[in-house]
Amino acid sequence: MIRAIVLEEALDPGKELAVLTANAAGAGGLVNFVGLAREEGGRVAELVLEHHPVLTQRSLDEIAGAAVERFAVTAVSVVHRVGSIQPDEPIVFAGAAARHRREAFLAADYLMDMLKTRAVFWKREEGSDGTRWIEPRNEDLSDAARWHGSKKKEITR
């Protein structure tokens, strides 16, 4: 299963985990990550995620598809919110199922690194200090760069 969803309503991580589990037949385990909107000490009242009508879905499809190509996984799921998100609400669900745990951990890690730097979203914080656009941090870029040029077998050894 490759699941890549741009979601306009509330994200239910429990439901997404159930979907992934139901599609993980034959897998030995699954790993999932849930990203939450931070309140940053009360400074952020709202996180707004904008998206592109074509490129955003395509980017999620490509990221999820690349994870399947790169790792020995049986299922991958990426579900990403758009619109207005309140602090502590889920923004993203990224999960992978695999016969062996290492591949599932690697795939989930890869998915998040790619989502942070390649997925076509624009994020802005609205709060007491006004509006602030969020761009990938240097750490996000260096995390994503770890995967450049590395082939599946090199990573999974």
Partner 1 sequence: MTQEREVTLYGKLADPLGALVRVCGGESAETVREVRDRVAALEPRLSELLADPRVRACTDGTITADGAIVQPGRAVEFIPVVSGG
Give the contact letters, 116-145, x = binds to partner 1 (CB under 8 A), - = no. xxxxxxxxx------x-xxxx---x-----
Q: Does 57 bind partner 1 (CB under 8 A)?
A: no
Query: What is the smallest separation between the CB atom of 38 and partner 1, expressed in angstroms?
Result: 12
Closest CB to partner 1 among residues 4, 73? 4
What is the DSSP code (8-state) at residue 151? -
**Coil, helix or strand for 7?**
strand
Q: Are 96 and 66 in contact (CB under 8 A)?
A: no
**Coil, helix or strand for 45?**
strand
What pairing do the DSSP bridges indicate for beta strands 73-81 and 2-7? Answer: parallel
Token readout for 141 is 């870029």
Closest CB to partner 1 among residues 99, 124? 124
What is the DSSP code (8-state) at residue 41? T
Q: Does 55 bind partner 1 (CB under 8 A)?
A: yes
Q: Does 44 bind partner 1 (CB under 8 A)?
A: no
Q: Which helix (H) or strand (E) holds 5?
A: strand 2-7
Q: Does 3 bind partner 1 (CB under 8 A)?
A: no
Token readout for 57 is 């879905």
Q: Does 115 bind partner 1 (CB under 8 A)?
A: yes
Nearest to 105 by CA among 34, 31, 19: 31
Task: Considering only residues 59 through 98, tell me which ones interact with partner 1, judged by CB under 8 A.
Answer: 59, 80, 91-92
Closest CB to partner 1 among residues 92, 106? 92
- Binding region for partner 1 (CB under 8 A): 35, 49-50, 52, 54-55, 58-59, 80, 91-92, 112, 115-124, 131, 133-136, 140
